[in-house]
Amino acid sequence: MTSNPYSIFGGQTPAEARKAREIKNQDKEVQSLSSMARELSVVRTQLSGLDHRFSNLERILHRIMVVEEKQLLTMNCLLPEDGRPLSIGDQEARARHLLGLSIIGELKEKDIKRQYKILAKKLHPDVNDGETTEEFINVEKAYNYLIELVSR
- Nearest C-alpha neighbor of 113 from the set 152, 146, 78, 149: 146
Report pLDDT digits (tens) over 17-68: 788 888 888 888 888 888 888 999 999 988 888 888 888 888 888 777 766 6
Percent of the chain with pLDDT over 70: 71
Task: Name the more confident of 24 and 133.
Answer: 24
Q: Where are the alpha helices (DSSP H) in the chain?
A: 14-74, 88-99, 109-123, 133-151
pTM tops 0.85, yes or no: no
- Nearest C-alpha neighbor of 144 from the set 103, 91, 102: 91
Q: Cα(25)–Cα(18) distance, rounded to whole angstroms?
A: 10
The span from the first CA to the last CA of the chain, in angstroms, equals: 106
Asked if residues 109 and 147 have their Cβ atoms less than 8 Å apart, the reply is yes
Q: Cα(81)–Cα(100) distance, rounded to whole angstroms?
A: 20
- Nearest C-alpha neighbor of 96 from the set 82, 84, 83, 106: 106
Q: Crossing angle for the helix pair 88-99 and 133-151, nearest 10 degrees?
A: 120
